[in-house]
């Protein structure tokens, strides 16, 4: 099979992984910092009122993000991203206890696949709920995924650039105080078509299930 020059869309996707992953995973919703206890000392300097409620410590189910490149089985990576290095590539993070992302991508023949697994561990369930709601609100047209985490949402979109189709699936999951996000897309550079919606959606959900299960292994 003669080799063909890579289309513009593929060239862009093979740019430094850190840039693409950062675009796909907005890092603005970091863990909330628990506020200091309210000062209940009376103006006269006496002891605090006995009726003042005690500050409750926030219990976090997950203290840190797991190793993202070890979150999926090698068999799963091989089936979703044929030809990719199963070890994946972790994206640099300012705080690996809070946010971690791993990416896999490969072009096998004319078929291209890209997969991201991202974790964000928040200070509380409430903070994770807020982050989850914001991420879902930004991705209309999808639906809930029953039985995955405390809440899960999946959406698939088709884009066309320079007559080349790309279909991308996103799954957002909240599990206690953690938010997990999967991005999975593909293109066929021979037909210039994209994989089917069902293939992309099922692949993204499969990766999400394994990624959520890996939360329990985090230290």
Each domain of the chain, given as residue ranges in start order, spans: 8-25+61-217
Task: Return all residues near 75 (Cβ < 8 A) that are at least 6 apart.
Answer: none
Over residues 123-171, the pLDDT tens digits come to 999 999 999 999 999 998 999 999 999 999 999 999 999 999 999 999 9
Q: Provide the pLDDT for residue 57.
A: 58
Q: Residues of 20-58 as b/e, b for ≥16 C-beta within 10 angstroms?
A: bbeebbeeebbbbeeeeeeeeeeeeeeeeeeeeeeeeee
Return d(Cα 132, Cα 121) in angstroms, integer: 12
Residue 23 has pLDDT above 50, yes or no: no
Q: Provide the pLDDT for residue 216.
A: 83
pTM of the model: 0.75
């Amino acid at each position: 099979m003669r080799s063909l020059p890579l289309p513009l869309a593929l060239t862009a996707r093979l740019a430094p992984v850190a840039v693409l992953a950062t675009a796909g995973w907005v890092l603005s919703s970091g863990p909330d910092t628990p506020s200091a206890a309210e000062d209940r000392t009376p103006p006269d300097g006496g002891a605090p009122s006995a009726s003042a409620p005690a500050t409750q410590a926030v219990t976090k189910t997950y203290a840190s993000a797991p190793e993202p490149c070890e979150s999926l089985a090698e068999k799963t990576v091989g089936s979703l991203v044929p030809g990719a290095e199963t070890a994946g590539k972790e994206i640099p993070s300012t705080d690996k206890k809070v946010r971690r992302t791993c990416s896999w991508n490969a072009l096998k023949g004319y078929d291209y696949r890209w997969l991201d697994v991202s974790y964000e561990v928040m200070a509380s369930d409430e903070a994770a709920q807020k982050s989850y709601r914001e991420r879902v609100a930004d991705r209309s047209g999808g639906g809930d995924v029953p039985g995955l985490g405390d809440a899960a949402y999946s959406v698939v979109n088709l884009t066309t650039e320079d007559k080349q189709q790309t279909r991308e699936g996103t799954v957002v999951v909240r599990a206690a105080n953690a938010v997990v996000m999967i991005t999975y897309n593909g293109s066929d550079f021979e037909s210039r078509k994209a994989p089917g919606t069902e293939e992309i959606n099922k692949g993204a959900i499969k990766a999400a299930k394994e990624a959520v299960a890996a939360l329990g292994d985090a230290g």
